[in-house]
Amino acid sequence: MFKYSLDNKRYHTLNYYYKNKYGKKVYKVSLNANFSCPHKIKGRGCIFCSKLGSGDFAGDKEKDILTQFNEVNKVMEKKWSDAYKIAYFQANTNTYAPVEILKSKFESVLNISNLIGINIATRPDAINDECLNYLEELNKKTNLTIELGLQSIHEKTLEYINRGHNLKCFEDCVKKLKERNIEIVVHIINGLPYETKEMMLETIKYLNNLNIDGIKIHMLHVIKNTELEDIYEKEHFHILTKDEYIDIVINQLELLNPKIVIHRITGDPKKEDLIEPTWLLKKFCVLNDIDKEMVKRNTYQGKKIKI
């Protein structure tokens, strides 16, 4: 069995990380705090982003945070009645507001029973110094994790997808958060238009040098009513097959520091919104096929790291 797994996975599972740290099951309650995104306000936004700002499975933004939490949590508790909980501020850019508003949103959940942490999804260009100071304070009150979207280290790709920040902006943000001892989870996307397998592996090699705590690996998917849909219809860029994706992910895991926690290894888009690739709809098949192929190759996370 791999060192950082409780269920015969060959990578550092989130389940292992939580049970090792907290002693029992932990689940996230996804919330929509009705924040916006500075990139959407200033321009077009990222070409792949949905109207809900990656919050398709979060709570109802028209309701207050506690009401959302209780409604989502009610469903989760049916499956895990005795578990710790994390409030996950998921949709859009969750540090894009004055500190007073951030405080009112985040701290509204701190007294919830069995809540052991807060995860905040945001952009590296949306955390100013005042926000950093507040996040440092919040980290003393709960187990805080900041989730940063990087997507790719390649500047040409960042420009193509209209990401709105460069690699240095991301680096600077990671450094400042780490100086305040705040945990960081980084989001990357495999299969971005015109990226090669080697380019995707270079993104992983780069992240090994940043002292990040976790990673979310996504597969690019084209969804309706996005700029990416229009581009795909015109350019018909290559969409990774399931086998190609599995091969790339396994190669990435082999190059990734085994101490970095895998928070996500594939996506789960809504069926009614998805255009391509349709194989993403069978999430558990993808997960199982990754496991099987890793066994077949007799490989594991960190196998190819140069010491």
Domain boundaries, the chain: 14-297
CB 189 within 8 A of CB 219: yes
Q: Which CATH class is domain 14-297?
A: alpha beta
Beta bridge partners of 29: 87
What six digits make up the tokens of 153?
A: 């280290």
CA-based nearest residue to 300, from 39, 3, 78: 3
Residue 9 is which amino acid?
Answer: K
Token output for 8: 């015969």
pTM for the structure as a whole: 0.94
Q: How many CB atoms lie within 10 A of CB 65?
A: 21
Length of the chain equals 307
Looking only at the bridges linking them, the beta strands covering 115-122 and 84-89 are: parallel
What is the residue-level pLDDT of the chain in tens, covering all 307 positions? 688 988 889 999 999 999 999 999 999 999 999 887 766 655 677 878 766 545 556 668 789 999 999 999 999 999 998 899 999 999 889 998 999 999 999 999 999 999 999 999 999 999 999 999 999 999 999 999 999 999 999 999 999 888 888 999 999 999 999 999 999 999 999 999 999 999 999 999 999 999 999 999 999 999 999 999 999 999 999 999 999 999 999 999 999 999 999 999 998 888 999 999 999 999 999 999 999 999 999 999 999 986 5
Q: Which residues contact 262 (CB under 8 A, 6 or more apart)?
A: 11, 12, 13, 14, 214, 215, 217, 253, 301
